[in-house]
Amino acid sequence: MKLKKNDPDFFEIFNHFNNKEILEYVSISKRTRFIVTLATLITNTSKEKYAIAVRDALEVLTPVEIKEVLYQSVAYVGLGKTFELFEITNDVLSKNGVELPLKSISTVNPDNRHEKGLEIQKKYFGSENIQAMIENAPEGQERFNDFLSGYCFGDFYTRDALSDQDRELITFCVLATLGGCENQLRGHVQGNFNVGNDKEILIDALTILLPYIGFPRTLNALAIINEY
């Protein structure tokens, strides 16, 4: 790798901070650490680091779980950033002996995806809150709530392989990495609490994220966690 050869100080600093100073402070499992790392690399579209992380994650995550971290990120990161990452993921899996395509784990169809997504929204964030959001949508803008229920929650959150806790933690990591999403991050901090991820888990995840997203985004996310 030319970067490693020509910029040895960068890699020494990164490896020191990421391996020595970070891991001594976190208690989340190695599986969860890989989920957090994959989520932030997807969001930053860090293709080379992401490919390495996919390969290494096979130690503790199934191929289906790895693909699901990517699926879960799509609605938040967008197709533009994630499209090529599917090809990278499939390439790494194939090179490591995984037979593709993987079995579909979608649980909805075109007729029930909106209904099932709305059920999950209400489960995570409370029926009254979601109903108020729908009723208070400005005239002519109701479609965005429909998209949120059918696409974001209906098409992705209903899929198998990952738990509610996994999916909300991925969403937290994606929003923290994106930055500028404080309103959404605030809602998903509460969503994490509602599905069983406590404050310590979120702070551990944020500790893992720090080298990847920098101090401003980390401290903004930490401030939101500390509101609760």
Average pLDDT score, the chain: 92
Nearest to 72 by CA among 179, 195, 164, 183: 164
Map residue 104 onto helix, strand or coil. coil
The residue behind tokens 């970067």 is 3
Cβ count near 67 (within 10 Å): 23
The pLDDT tens digits of the residues spanning 36-46 come to 999 999 999 99
23 confidence band (pLDDT: 50, 70, 90): confident
**Closest Cα to residue 160, out of 83, 65, 82?**
65
The pLDDT tens digits of the residues spanning 156-187 come to 999 999 999 999 999 999 999 999 999 999 99
Q: What is the pLDDT of residue 158?
A: 96
Six-digit token string for 57: 């994650």
pLDDT at 146: 95
When pLDDT is cut at 50, 70 and 90, the band that residue 3 belongs to is low
Of residues 11 and 87, more confidence is placed in 87
Reported pTM: 0.92
pLDDT digits (tens, 9 = 90+) for 50-94: 999 999 999 999 999 999 999 999 999 999 999 999 999 999 999
Q: Per-residue confidence at 14, pLDDT binned at 50, 70, 90?
A: low
Tell me, what DSSP letter sits at residue 180?
A: S
Q: How many CB atoms lie within 10 A of CB 62?
A: 13
